[in-house]
Structure 1
Amino acid sequence: MIGEPPGGFRPGDVLRISCPFTDAVVSAVHLYDVAIRWPWWQIDPESDFIQWNGDVALPLGSSLDDDRGFFTTIPDADALAAGDRCRVGIRPAIVHVMSVDHFDPPLETGRLPRSRRNLVLLRHGESEDPDAEYQGYCIDPDDDQPITAELLFRPYAFLCLDDELADSAGRAWRFIAPWNWTPFDGGTGTPAWPLTLLHREGAEPADDSIGAVTAATSTGSHADELAHWEHLTGASPPARSRVSSASR
């Protein structure tokens, strides 16, 4: 994947993804999906328990999974028959990162390369459902699929995960994720800007880091940061932050 932000991807990132349409062949057509001989991945000959056949199933329009993935075909999947040639890719789409999952050892999937991490992406307009067992679409940012990702917005881009800060009301906070702030006093709410950086990576931060956070929060508010993210994603933040953002 091209265009990874400095420091890597993180939850809350708003991305524009795409993948150039590439020639492929239809292996089979089933009731709810069409099997495409995938033009990028290779079969993992040393996979012990997953025997991948080189095909990827893309849902037909009649499938309940039709709105889950991002890859589509030209012509449309519903018009394809076994043996047809087609093109497969991703049209530009705005997504947001629900989570970044890491695997050590790499995840065995029957294909190569084995995944060391996955981005779990939600479509524009899709909010995280804390009660869903499975949600989102996984993309390996390090595999051979020529997916590009442009970072459109990173909420609290001037902070690092686990930063400790003081707000203008004198409360101390730990930054867990953009919509997940933990106050040291055990209370609720969201931090009042401007913010002062107290600790980064367990140590006293450098003066330039302190100055950058102070400058970035000299105007605006947490509510403004959230509103901009909601405008771009068409989604609501995770449920745990809806109570804390109600004060805006």
Structure 2
Amino acid sequence: MGEWEEEPAGGYRLDGGGVRFRAGDVLSLECPLTETTVASVSRYYVSVRWPWNDVDPEAHSFRWNGVTALPTPGAFDWDRTYFRTVPAETELNAGDTCLVGIAPTVVHIASVHHFDPPLVTGMLPRPACYLEILRQGEAHDPELEDQGYALDPVGAEPIRIELLFRPYAFLEAGDEVVDHDGRAWRFDGPWDWHPFDGQQTAIPAWPLQLLSRNGDPAPEDTAAVTQQTRTGSHEEELQRWTRLALAEPSTDQP
């Protein structure tokens, strides 16, 4: 990843507080470059003073020292990390001043995890939610336990998050619909459809009619689903997602 222009911190603030993210969302991420200092350098990592989070004094089981280790290109987890330094990690020495941030990056969400109470990590604020994100071009592999990057959408880092595309944005998990062919389905995610008749065909035929959303759906919700599926198809939703994510969606997303 090359260098990118520094922007004033006040110009970026994620909108995660107003968006309930879900698996399948395609996002654009960006975090303005912020000045910090290099605490130490090892063969595969550069540790920098993290300029955003505070130490959690009540986290007795997790003692964070205010330093975060960023991988160099030779580290196994280089591609799993989005924060980069300027100058590049390989050019830094202990005591150097550098910038750290995220260049504009497109990702997609593999899964969303909620924590109540918020998770104790040693840092403040404590995350109440993590998005497991994958890079553009990377498909979710259900066989891998540690594939994505865990991002707190409302954490201390001033990350700007833009929702680029949400497949089936007009449906909610648990919705029940009937399709053009008269088949009833339950929607659990854009690529996670369950036909009530038990047949193997896993793609609903548009247009769709909303039957249930936590009971009887509101008239405006029913009208919205009908309007949004009057044209188009499941295949077009898939094609649009694939063009942005540059990957094939997993049919086994959590």
Give the TM-score normalised by the residue count of structure 2.
0.91
Number of the residue aligned with 2:9: none
Answering whether residue 27 of structure 2 is matched by residue 15 of structure 1, we say yes
Q: 1:165 Cα shift? A: 0.3
Q: State how far apart, in whole Å, the 2-side matches of 1:50 and 1:159 are.
A: 40
2:234 aligned to which of 208, 222, 225: 222
2:67 aligned to which of 55, 60, 80: 55
**Alignment coverage as a number of residue pairs:** 240
Call closer, same or farther: CA 1:71–1:108 in 2, change over 3 Å.
same
Indicate if the aligned counterparts of 1:19 and 1:147 stay in contact, CA closer than 8 A.
Answer: yes
Q: State how far apart, in whole Å, the 2-side matches of 1:13 and 1:5 are.
A: 16
* Secondary structure of 2:30's aligned partner: strand
Q: 1:210 Cα shift? A: 1.0
**Structure 1 unaligned residues grouped into runs of 5+:** 242-248
Number of the residue aligned with 1:68: 80
Q: 1:239 Cα shift? A: 4.0
Q: 1:206 Cα shift? A: 1.7
Q: State how far apart, in whole Å, the 2-side matches of 1:98 and 1:158 are.
A: 19
**Structure 2 unaligned residues grouped into runs of 5+:** 1-12
Q: 1:183 Cα shift? A: 1.0
Call closer, same or farther: CA 1:239–1:211 in 2, change over 3 Å.
closer
1:117 is aligned with what amino acid? Answer: C
2:51 aligned to which of 33, 39, 54: 39
* Secondary structure of 2:222's aligned partner: helix
* Secondary structure of 1:22's aligned partner: strand
Indicate if the aligned counterparts of 2:192 and 2:251 stay in contact, CA closer than 8 A.
Answer: no
Answering whether residue 208 of structure 2 is matched by residue 195 of structure 1, we say yes
Indicate if the aligned counterparts of 1:130 and 1:239 stay in contact, CA closer than 8 A.
Answer: no
2:212 is aligned with what amino acid? Answer: H
Identity %: 50
Answering whether residue 189 of structure 2 is matched by residue 177 of structure 1, we say yes
Q: 1:133 Cα shift? A: 1.2
1:10-30 deviations in Å (ceiling 9; x for gaps): 110000000000001000001
Q: State how far apart, in whole Å, the 1-side matches of 2:20 and 2:176 are.
A: 20
Q: State how far apart, in whole Å, the 2-side matches of 1:5 and 1:81 are.
A: 37
* Secondary structure of 2:181's aligned partner: coil
Q: State how far apart, in whole Å, the 2-side matches of 1:205 and 1:50 are.
A: 46
Segments of 4+ moved more than 3 angstroms:
4-7
Aligned-residue RMSD, C-alpha:
1.3
Q: State how far apart, in whole Å, the 2-side matches of 1:3 and 1:105 are.
A: 22
Q: State how far apart, in whole Å, the 2-side matches of 1:62 and 1:99 are.
A: 28
Indicate if the aligned counterparts of 1:5 and 1:151 stay in contact, CA closer than 8 A.
Answer: no
2:153 aligned to which of 138, 141, 144: 141
1:173 is aligned with what amino acid? Answer: W
2:45 is aligned with what amino acid? Answer: D
Q: State how far apart, in whole Å, the 2-side matches of 1:7 and 1:80 are.
A: 37
Answering whether residue 94 of structure 2 is matched by residue 82 of structure 1, we say yes
Number of the residue aligned with 2:224: 212
Q: 1:3 Cα shift? A: 2.3
Give the TM-score normalised by the residue count of structure 1.
0.94
Q: 1:4 Cα shift? A: 3.3
Call closer, same or farther: CA 1:215–1:239 in 2, change over 3 Å.
closer
Number of the residue aligned with 1:246: none
2:60 is aligned with what amino acid? Answer: D
2:93 is aligned with what amino acid? Answer: A
